[in-house]
Structure 1
């Protein structure tokens, strides 16, 4: 039997490569003669650099940049073929860099993401693939733009500063001092959402609460984002609410398009094309994918469904392994996933579940392969 392992990372617990290792160990116990094909997958968030660098045999670069609250953090990006940089904004401006009590989108900035881009430019790279999932920010991407020379000015012609709290103070945008190398770049921004910049379905109201915003904070941030939307219209001539995905990463999608001329692309489809996923499916009998949680949102651009869609047309069976199932998780069956195996098998606190994540994933994979073997034996 030939099995392809293509999971996403389990956010905050295991990288996709670690998930693959555990799946492979479990598979070999039940199917010792099986042929295993492995490829880490991501959708623009955590694990994107690892997935693309692993698939293409690239290299890693480490730089010190500004974290979401202004502290210095060590961030990694990938270089492929000496010409393409793969960047995760989560490495510099991600929510995983903050403790729960530190989350506050009024203060968090994407400045470090701009510094990551600048580091790649300094290496002579002019093709950028930037994943913008997992952000801790709601600053409209002004921090990233500020790091590359764009000025956001208040009514006194002074710089407004950093963080979402300052969006309401912007009256003018001056891009005359933007790093000129940006205009030489081909920039692809990959994400798994299509939200507009403002409104009830926009960056603030949909994703602000998970970044630490309460009701009053949300109203302040949305007011600032509405102001930002209008100033971009006046100074750049673009209505960012007409650009699907402009609300991604707290509005970083809007900044990447408006100031850097980037193209917004589906995360999972871009990654699958990059790793030449179709060729990996040759003679495969079973695909095992997965992510930390499968729920109703998994049908919208997440890794398991993106993979299942490509397998379904070829008649290849797909199993998704996940930490847990949320509301309407069964919707993924409509997109080509044949079954879901959940790893948590006991009543555990969140802390216990995180500590046992690897052990429980191996146990779930072992049970999964035993069931597959049982089915094969019954068939004969």
Structure 2
């Protein structure tokens, strides 16, 4: 058989490439005569640039000196493929760059991402695709906008410092973003608006360190800033657009810059030629750390499963844990937790657990 293994990352434990290799190793132990192809994927979050670098042979990796979410110097890579630049927001403002005690979206900033975007623009890119996900920020992209040339002022005319916690003091946005007419695409599968119970703050703030009174405070700050920014830059209503709340409101900032949102999963799948790989396979295996109802709403596993169904090719999901037993586009759903007995055991040895799960599935699979 020809097996295509095309997983997403297993957040917090394995990159997409590591997960693909673990599944392939387990499968080959049982079925060594099968032809196994690995195709790591991403939805715009961490791993986005690595996946595209693997899939686009003509692309060139660029390294930029920038800053992490609390202002420490870091180096970050982005990808240049012709006139298109592919950037991962988490490279500069990712949650993984901070220790747990450093996570506080009242002070974290997307300024470092703005420096990467500026580098891509100034180096001649005409299309900039930014994968949104895994961010430690909740500043509605204000830091990024500042790095691109806009100035946020308070009522005294002083420039605001960075961080989501000061945005309620913004009374004016002046200047013009130095974007040279570049086309911006926000690659994300998050469809949240900027504000409200399903917005950037209340939906994603807690995982970034915002708790208790910090949540209504940040929500008020983002609401105030959005009103000022829409009036100064436009378009009015950008904060309510699907995806405006992605990555702490970075989606909103890209809408202010005239950008648009595209599905990160679909964009990646098209870039790596997933459809052709599925057409050549007899079985497709995808996976992610947690497979749940959200996974079926346009996320990467659902994108792979849908593509497989279009070719009448069976598709399996191998996940760390699963809350979904079945789906019309899937031939089966299997979870490491069910094999090893507990989430703790699965987290202690993620690669070994996923490899063992692939072995068990291979034993049971019949052509």
Shorter-chain TM-score range? over 0.9
Instruction: Say which SS state the counterpart of residue 156 (structure 2) adopts.
Output: coil
Output the TM-score relative to the length of structure 2.
0.94
User: Hey, what does 2:333 align to over in structure 1?
Assistant: 340
- The structure-2 alpha-carbon separation of the partners of 1:196 and 1:286, relative to structure 1 and needing over 3 Å to count, comes to same
SS of equivalent residue, structure 2 residue 17:
helix
Who is 2:243 aligned against?
245
Structure 1 stretch displaced more, 219-228 or 63-72: 63-72
* Kept in 2: contact 1:56–1:80 (CA 8 A): yes
Q: How far apart, in 1, do the equivalents of 2:343 and 2:301 lie?
A: 26
**1:67, 1:249 → 2: CA distance?**
15
Bigger Cα displacement from structure 2, 5-14 vs 29-38: 29-38
Q: Deviations over 1:255-280 (max 9, x none)?
A: 1110x221111111111122222111
SS at structure 2 position matched to 1:298: helix
Matches within 5 A, 1:139-158: 139-158=139-158
**Contact in 2 for aligned 1:193/1:300 (Cα 8 Å):** no
Aligned residue in 2 for 1:263: 260
Cα-to-partner distance string for 1:336-373 (whole Å, 9 max, x where unaligned) = 122122123435674x644411111111111111111x
Task: State the alpha-carbon separation in 2 of the partners of residues 148 and 357 from structure 1.
Answer: 40
Tell me which residue corresponds to 2:189. 192
**Preserved CA contact (<8 Å) 1:62 1:76:** yes
Instruction: Note if contact 1:189-1:262 (Cα within 8 Å) is conserved in structure 2.
Output: yes
- Counterpart of 1:133 in structure 2 is 133
Change (3 A) 1:143 1:311: same
Shift of the alpha carbon at 1:203?
1.0
Distance 1:290 1:349 in 2: 16
Counterpart Cα distance in 2 of 1:302 and 1:335: 16
Query: 1:65: how far off?
Result: 1.2
Q: What is the aligned partner in structure 2 of residue 315 from structure 1?
A: 312
State the match for 1:366 in structure 2. 359
What is the root-mean-square deviation in Å for CA atoms of aligned residues? 1.7
2:219 is equivalent to residue 222 of structure 1: yes
- Pairwise mapping of residues 80-95 of structure 1 onto structure 2 (< 5 A)? 80-81=81-82, 83-95=83-95
Matches within 5 A, 1:63-74: 63-74=64-75
Aligned ranges 1:100-115 → 2 under 5 Å: 100-115=100-115
Distance in structure 2 (CA, Å) of the matches to 1:277 and 1:148:
34
Query: C-alpha distance in 2, partners of 1:284/1:46?
Result: 27
Pairs within 5 Å for 1:48-63: 48-57=48-57, 58-63=59-64
Structure 1 residue 301: deviation in Å? 2.3
State whether residues 305 and 335 of structure 1, in contact with CA within 8 Å, keep that contact through their aligned partners in structure 2: no
For 1:195 and 1:112, locate their aligned partners in 2 and report how far apart those are by CA, in whole Å.
23
5+ residue gaps in structure 2?
none
Q: Is the 8 A contact 1:40 1:50 kept in 2?
A: no
Alignment of 1:295-314 (within 5 A): 295-314=292-311
Cα separation, 1, equivalents of 2:290 and 2:2: 26
Tell me how many residue pairs correspond in the alignment: 364
Contact 1:22–1:358 (CA<8 Å) still a contact in 2?
Answer: yes
Deviations 1:167-205, CA, capped at 9 Å, x for gaps: 1011111133x22xx133122110011111111121111
Residues 134-179 of structure 1, C-alpha deviations (whole Å, 9 max, x = no match): 1111001001111111111111111111011011011111133x22
Specify the SS of the correspondent of 1:42.
coil
Any idea what the Cα deviations from partners look like across 1:107-154, whole Å, max 9, x if unmatched?
110011111112222432222111011111100100111111111111
Q: C-alpha offsets along residues 211-243 of structure 1, whole Å, 9 cap, x if unaligned?
A: 111120001001111101211232124212332
